[in-house]
Structure 1
Amino acid sequence: MNLRFIVIMMMLVSLCSCGSMNYKIPNNNNKAVAHRGAWKQNNFPENSIASLKHAIELGCAGSEFDVRMTADSVLIINHDAHYNGLLVEDTKYEDLIKFKLSNGEKLPTLKEYLIVGMTNNTTTGLVCEIKPSKDKARGKFIARKVVNLVKDLKATPYLAFYISFDYDILKEITKISQTKTQYLKGSKSPDQVKADGISGIDYHLKVFKEHPEWIKRSKEIGVVLNAWTANTPEDLDWLLSNNFDFITTNEPELLLKKVSFLKLQNY
C-alpha cells in the first residue's frame, strides 16, 4: 500500500466524518422554535409539510410538530385528538386521509414529515411532541415506535428534542435514546426533571412567571429552558431578557428579528 493511497483514504474518512451521520442541529443560536411549523404569516395549515418547509427556509432553531398514532398503528402529524371529527386513535389512516388539509396536502405521516425535515436542512432542529395516549402502555408503545422510526431513517441528528405532557413517555424515551427531552406540563421542578434524566423544561410562560426561581435553578444545574407559546412582543422580550435557550412561538419571524437586533446591539 503506497503513501499516496493512504493519504487519499485518510481524506475520504475525514470527509465522511463531516457528513450527516455526525451532523447535529440546531447549529444556530436564534432560539426560535416555530410552533407547529411556521404557518401563521403565510396562512399554511398548522403541522403541515408547508409549515415545516417554511420554518427551515426561515432558519429557525427548531420546528415543533405533534405526533399521534392511528387505530392501525400509523404515526401521523396532527395536534388535536380528532381530525375532521374522527378520533385519531380509533380511526384507520386510510379513513383519515380522505380529508385533505386546507392547502390540499394529505395528512402527513411521521415518516414523510421526517424525510422532509432532513432535506436541504442545515439549520432547523426537529422538535417532536408525542401526544399523550388513552392509556399509559399505549403511550410508551408510541414513544418506542417513534424513536425506532427516527433511528431507522437515520434522522436522529436532526432531532433537537422530544417533548411531551406525559412524563412517562419522556422517561421511556430516555431508556432507548440519547436524544434530548423536555417536559411540557409545568408540574415538576428543575431538580426533579434533572434527577429523572429529562434534559429540559418547556413550560407555559405563566408557569415561569409564577416560579421565577425555576429559571435561575435550571441554569445552575444545566436544565434546558424553553417556553410556550410566546407570541406578543412583550412576552418575547421577557423571555429574551431572561436568556431562555429556546422560545416556542407562533410568530417566529418576529422573534428572529428581535434576536438579530439584539446581536447587532452586542457588537
Structure 2
Amino acid sequence: MNWNNNKVIAHRGAFKKNNLPENSIASLKEAIRLKCYGSEFDVHLTKDNFIVVNHDEDFQGIPIATSTYAELRQKTLHNGEYLPTLEAYLKEGMKQEHTKLILEIKVAANLSRTLALTDAVFGMVQKIQAGAWVEYISFSYEALLRILQHDPAANTAFLAEINDELPVETLKKDHILQADYDFNIYQTGDWFNRAHRLGMTINAWTVNDKKDMLTLLENKIDFITTNEPELLLNLLS
C-alpha cells in the first residue's frame, strides 16, 4: 500500500468547500480525491448494535444509542445519503490504498457502553479485514487500551482538550504512539521534540487558520486535522 505522504487529515471528511455532509461517504470520497493522508470520522452504536458514522449523539434529533438503525434511516443527510454504517464507510475507503481511515471511537454514556462500541468496532474491522487502512483515535484512554489488547500493533492516538492532555511519555509507556491534541495545547511545552525523541507522532486539531497551520508546520508537526484540507495541501505544496 502506498499511503499519501503528507500531513493532512480531513476532519469528518473533506466536506466544507463543496457543502457535503460531514462524515458522509461523499466527504470521504472527496478526501480521497484530494489525496489527503487521512479522512477522520466518528462512530456510535445503535440500540440494535449497528455501528454508524456520525459526530453527535443524535442524528437530526433521533438519539442514536436508544434507536434502531431502521429508525435512523427515516431521515437522510442533505445530499440524500442515509446515515452510513461503519461497514459501508470502511468498504468505500478500502477501494483505494492511499488515504487512511482515521476512526474516532466516541465516548458513550458510560464506560461499559464505550467499551462495547470499541469491541464492536474492532470486530467489524477484523471481519472485513480493514486493519491496514484504519487508525484509531479516542478521547477515551480505556477504549485505546482495549484496542491494543485486541491488537498490540494497532495505530492509536489519544485525543485531548486543554487540561486533559497527558505527557507523551505516558502514552509511549502504554504503546499509544500519537498525541492528538487541541492545537492550543502545543503553544506551551516542548511537545514536538519530546515526542519525536520517543519515536512518536503529534497531530493537532481542528486547525482552520493559515497562520496556525504555518506555526505548527514550523514546529515539524506530523499531522494536522482540518476542515480546510485544500488550504493545508496548498500550503504544503
Q: Distance in 2 between matches of 1:136 and 1:145?
A: 14
Pair 1:164-2:141 in alignment: no
Considering fraction of residues, name the structure with more helix: 1
Q: Which digits, 9 at most, give the CA deviation of each residue in 1:1-43, with x for residues without a partner? A: xxxxxxxxxxxxxxxxxxxxxx3x6x22211000000000100
Structure 2 residue 35 is matched with structure 1 residue 59: yes
Q: Deviations over 1:25-81 (max 9, x none)?
A: 6x2221100000000010000000000000000100000000100111110000001
Structure 2 residue 179 is the aligned partner of structure 1 residue 204? no
Q: 5+ unaligned residues in a row in structure 1: which ranges?
A: 1-22, 261-267
Which of structures 1 and 2 has the bigger CA Rg?
1
Q: Percent identity at matched positions?
A: 42
State the shift of 1:83 in Å: 1.1
Q: Secondary structure of the equivalent of 1:239?
A: helix
Given the alignment, which residue of 214, 220, 240 partners 2:217? 240
Q: Answer whether contact 2:183 2:204 (CA < 8 A) is retained.
A: yes
Deviation above 2 Å: which 4+ runs of structure 1? none
The two structures have a TM-score, normalised by structure 1, of 0.85
| Count of matched residue pairs | 233
List runs of 5+ in structure 2 lacking aligned partners. Answer: none
Summarize deviations over 1:234-266 as a string: whole Å, max 9, x none.
Answer: 011011111111110000011111111xxxxxx
After superposition, give the CA deviation of every residue in 1:183-225 in whole Å (9 maximum; x if it has no partner): 0014211001111111111000011113x31222111111211
Question: What is the root-mean-square deviation of aligned Cα atoms in Å?
Answer: 1.0
| TM value normalised by structure 2 | 0.96
d(CA) in 1 for partners of 2:215, 2:126: 37
Please tell me whether the aligned partners of residues 12 and 23 of structure 2 are also in contact (alpha carbons under 8 angstroms).
yes
Cα offset, 1:179, TM superposition: 1.6
Mapping 1:1-267, distance limit 5 Å: 23=1, 27-119=3-95, 121-159=96-134, 161-177=135-151, 178-185=153-160, 186-210=164-188, 212-260=189-237
